[in-house]
Chain A
Amino acid sequence: MIVHEKVQEQTDFFSPNPDIQQFLFGKEYRLEDLPFSKAIVREHIAHGFIKVKPGIEPVRCGVFTRFITQKKWHCNRCGNEDPRAFARCRMKGCDCVYCRHCLNMGGVIRSYGQLASWAGPEPAARIQPWGHDAKLCAWQGSLSAQQRSASEKLDQALTAGRSFLIWAVAGAGKTELLFPAIEHALLAGKRVALATPRTDVVKELLPRFRAAFPPVPISALYGGSEEKVPGAPLVLATTHQLIHFVAYFDLIFIDEVDAFPFHTDPMLPFAVEKSTRSNAPIAYLTATPPNNLCTAFARGKIDGVRIPGRYHGFPLPTPEFRWIGNWRTALHKQFLPHAFKKWVAEKMRAKVQLFLFVPSLAIVHALTELLQREGFGRVAGVHSEDPDRHAKVAYFRQGKLDILVTTTILERGVTVPGVEVGVFGADDSIFDERALVQIAGRVGRSANQPSGDVLFFHNGRTLQMLKARQHIEMMNQEAGHVRE
């Protein structure tokens, strides 16, 4: 009893350090990474202001399961449970396990390591220099009727705390229709995150958001970012960066839910769930929803809206298929398939810029070299490991390059007016329905040049190619465009 009173007394006396509170609130760090002295941190832990939990915990299972399977682990930082992604430490006399999955997300997390998060009260004043009816959004453009109704529905659903799906074709103007909802949330003092799968997209969005919300501090988080604003109410981040947050956001927008890492990596849904407060609404934005969202939407389990038409009112360009025989052999023997060569030559004569999508990095090199040798204007190849890729894309935008050969990294988010697209080797398994729909969506995004060629060069049509075409035709039909 006496001991109890003593503890009580201490808690009354102890007031948390505001720096630690500001630093750690809503975040999660490895205990050894906290930039405060060990004594202070220990004191906060003793008084229950900082919560620590082991980095990696064994998954509890029954005796029988344990008997027939390997021991399982759960990484508390990234949610990884794949036994193959844990490695045992090889040091003598050490029996720890570490998670290989989130290694480069801020240091290795070991089974004896600990994660610290804030368990005390919220920092008192949320910085909110604007009044309740201030005008935050300075965006001047206007929304089309379709966009406006979607925007209103989104706003209503999110205000009511319901999740929402925006299923909009590529080039429908998704980003703009978020602005009213974001403005509302910010005015209500909520913390908002916009998560996208790729660093390039965050970089592209940041200036647009800065222009749209001049008074709001905006933080952009990606690996190596220098645009971090502590305590910013609006955060643009890659989905990976969300693993550093715990119960922080009141509202989260996930752009391109179906994009590469999200639907294959269980860490990302885990990160989204971890970073949001309980029952925080999630808004999904995509042109090609993954199956589970599609089903939920069709059954009415999630609110949503479909925007089948582009903001400029023209139909999506429908892909055409063109057979080019065995393109692998052709590349190997160093010649371009005839149909392909003819098309490129024709486009070069018409002074059209071309995106050429290819299945792999090796093919980027091979095809770029062949095109250069044939003398088709200025050709460059980009891929994910290319250090100059941003420069090359910038050159392409400025029109200094005629042809850009790329792997699927540029399938989303890159807008170049007047560009036309060829997919070389569209029958490769890397091009699934979603990827092909996204690629086709690169064409005709500006109102001045609303159409253009989308050609799939293949050696035998695949189901995915047919599905992609069907998807686009369906969307066009829904938007009221009559099939030719």
Chain B
Amino acid sequence: MSENNCLYCRKDRHLALTFARLLAPSDPPGFCSECQSKFAPIDPEMRCLGCGRDRRGLDPEFCRDGYCSDCLLWRQSPADKYFGHNEALFSYNDWMKEVFTAFKFHGDERLAEGFRAEWRAVYARSIGSSWRGRWENFLNNKQRAEPPLLLPIPVSTQRLEERGFNQSELLAAMLDGEVIPALLHDGQNRKQSKKRKLERMNMTDNPFRLNPNYAARLSGKRLLIIDDIYTTGATLRKAAAVLAAAEPECVDSLTLIHG
């Protein structure tokens, strides 16, 4: 099981011999082309401007001005005023479910490495530090914006003990930005993944707290919440509501999956 083997199915990846590979000290770990092809990447041109969902599979009558009906519903809620928008990398499908279960619930942290390149690319695009973003900045004669601060969604202590790792922290650590553990988890609530949609969207019990030591550092900054999956958007909005106390410039989010 070297880097030449797929992270998930462990078969040979059949990497082509290129000059870049020849000169690199080692290959980055990754998925084989067969496993990779089963993921459903989201087309950035066709995403919902609110939640980052892929609008290609959506009936046009559920969309308005590039927003999906769920986001339009959220807009009517008071919880939405603190939260900007989300971007996601993949749509949730059966294959992603399988890989994600292995990653999050069986605890195979290393699978996150397989998403590294794409994850970093979507981050660069979302903060405008990709080559294309820079070029556009140059043409419009704009200053490059300061990169946002990264805030991984925390998990309860009990769950951390159970799993041994926090998937959002792992994902945040793969990006270049500064990671700030300003969000704290109070513990004792049921998993979001064991609740129903309306239960999830109910915003009364907020498990998050703002770490007062970091509040000053957040004020006036752009914040980017990092999470593994956007399902209804309730978690991210709860976190954004907590962060609003520190008066940041804006709160957006980046997730690996939209599902």
Contact = CB atoms under 8 A, between A and B. Distances in A.
A binds B: yes
Interface of A: 32, 82, 84-85, 87, 89-92, 94, 96, 98, 100, 103-104, 107-108, 110
Contacts of A107: 106-107
B2 A103 contact: no
A92 B165 contact: no
Contacts of A90: 109, 112, 165, 170, 173
A431 to B, nearest CB: 17
Contacts of B166: 91
14 contacts: A32-B162, A84-B1, A85-B1, A87-B109, A89-B164, A90-B109, A91-B164, A91-B165, A92-B169, A98-B107, A100-B108, A103-B106, A104-B106, A108-B106
Contacts of A84: 1-2
A96 B107 CA distance: 13
A89 B108 contact: no
A110 B161 CA distance: 12
Nearest to A98: B107
B21 interface: no
A103 B173 CA distance: 23
Interface string B160-187: 0010111001100100000000000000
Nearest to A101: B1
Contacts, number: 45
Contact of A103 (B102, B162, B165): B102
Contacts of A94: 164-165
The 9 A-B residue pairs with the shortest CB-CB distance in the complex, in nearest-first order: A108-B107, A87-B110, A84-B1, A91-B165, A85-B1, A103-B106, A84-B2, A90-B170, A103-B108
Interface string B85-120: 000000000000000001000111110100000000
A32 B158 CA distance: 12
Contacts of A110: 164
A6 to B, nearest CB: 33
A92 B106 contact: no
Contact of B170 (A91, A96, A98, A100): A91
Nearest to B1: A84
Contacts of A85: 1
A89 B169 CA distance: 12
A92 B154 CA distance: 13
A16 B2 CA distance: 46
A110 B163 CA distance: 10
B259 to A, nearest CB: 20
Given A85-B1, A91-B170, 12 more contacts: A82-B1, A87-B108, A89-B164, A90-B112, A90-B173, A91-B164, A94-B165, A103-B102, A103-B106, A103-B107, A107-B106, A108-B106
A82 B165 CA distance: 23
Nearest to B160: A91
Contacts of B165: 89-91, 94
A100 B102 CA distance: 10
A98 B108 CA distance: 8
A89 B162 CA distance: 14
A94 B160 CA distance: 12
Contact of A89 (B2, B102, B106, B109): B109
Contacts of A87: 108-110
A94 B112 CA distance: 17
Given A91-B169, A108-B106, A108-B108, A96 B164 contact: yes
Q: In this complex, which of A32, A85, A107 has the most chain B Cβ atoms within 10 angstroms of its Cβ?
A: A107
Contacts of B169: 91-92
A103 to B, nearest CB: 5
Nearest to B166: A91
Given A90-B173, A92-B169, A104 B102 contact: yes
Contacts of B107: 98, 103, 107-108
A108 B110 CA distance: 12
Given A90-B173, A91-B170, A108 B2 contact: no
Contacts of B108: 87, 100, 103, 108
A178 B188 CA distance: 54
A96 B165 CA distance: 11
A91 B110 CA distance: 11
A90 B103 CA distance: 13
Nearest to B109: A90
A89 B109 CA distance: 7
A100 B9 CA distance: 12
A100 B1 contact: yes
